[in-house]
Amino acid sequence: MTPRARPGRAGFSNITSTVILTSVLLSIMIVASYLSNDVLTTQIAASEFKTAEDLTKTIDSEIRKLMFKPGSSSIIKVSFSTTAPGFTKTGQNMIITFTGQSPCPIEANQLNIEGRQQIGGSFNYTLQGDSSLIIWPYNGSLGRICISKPLNWRVSLDYERALCTFTGIVNLYDGAVYTPQNTVEVTAIALDFGDFTVTANSLILIQNERVETKTFTLTGNWNAIVSLPGIPNKTVSLVDMGGKENYKSLVNFHTIYIKISVLEGG
């Protein structure tokens, strides 16, 4: 007896195969779409973090322009999407001590701009400046910019150093006669922060609140010592700066108070 054919079986198999194939292709397309979106999001985040690096350089540049202009300010318009600004108040002080003078404490704070975790590349390096606590005009930057990744990617700006400048020997009147004296300028920045209202369109306000100058006379080959917790002290002498120890020294020590705020933009 000849078996009867089952005409509906082949049709059912073709439909089932088509459904399975369609499902597989759809799954592949969905996965590919997610991967594509992830790659695109990562690229955007990496690009914006690079912009954050450039923005931090711009902030430092504006601070340098305002340094000796008490009461002056600068505004930077900026957009934030995958990055956001913040700050760290370390609770520590940088201490500057001159021979025979009382120690001068200066708050050691940092401005931060953070990006997302998934950005690739190297970190824990200095983008600008170095870790030296004392710099000279020809070989250092008061503002140090570092790239790190404590949790998210972070670009940070700090001013944990003193700028020492020997400005030459001048004849100064001491009340009786004119005598040659060394003249030295020492500068430090105390960084502080105001309101931080971060929106898609923000304004970064940089203010030189004031400049406090202490002037005093030192004798011999005096030292300036800069210290910060956890870092070896750095010492520079008058002779190291190019002065002559047989002359008195007129020292002008400037502390510049800079405040940074982030405001809602229009």
The answer to whether 198 and 83 are in contact (CB under 8 A) is no
pLDDT of residue 210: 97
Rounded CA-CA distance 56/206 in Å is: 12
In tens digits, the chain (266 residues) has pLDDT values of: 455 545 555 554 555 555 454 554 455 554 444 444 455 456 766 788 899 999 999 999 999 999 999 999 999 999 888 888 999 999 999 999 999 999 999 999 999 999 877 776 778 899 999 889 999 887 788 999 999 988 888 999 999 999 999 999 999 887 889 999 999 999 999 999 999 998 889 999 999 999 999 999 999 999 999 999 999 999 999 999 999 999 999 999 999 999 999 999 86
What is the torsion angle, in degrees rounded to the nearest 10, for the CA atoms of residue 210, residue 228, residue 58 and residue 62? 20
Rounded CA-CA distance 187/189 in Å is: 7
Residues contacting residue 64 through CB under 8 Å, at least 6 positions apart = 142, 143
> Which residue's entry shows tokens 């502080």?
192
Rounded CA-CA distance 223/237 in Å is: 4
The answer to whether 76 and 203 are in contact (CB under 8 A) is yes
pLDDT of residue 90: 93
pTM here?
0.82
One-letter amino acid identity for 260?
A: I
Instruction: Classify the phi-psi angles of 168: left when phi > 0, otherwise alpha if psi is within -120 to 50, otherwise beta.
Output: left
For the chain, what percentages of helix, strand and coil (3-state, to nearest 5) are there?
Answer: 25, 50, 30
pLDDT of residue 29: 52
- Among candidate residues 265, 257, 74, 48, the one with its CA nearest the CA of residue 155: 48
How far apart, in Å, are the Cα atoms of 210 and each of 72, 188, 191? 9, 12, 12
Token pair of 265 as six digits: 């933009």
pLDDT of residue 222: 98
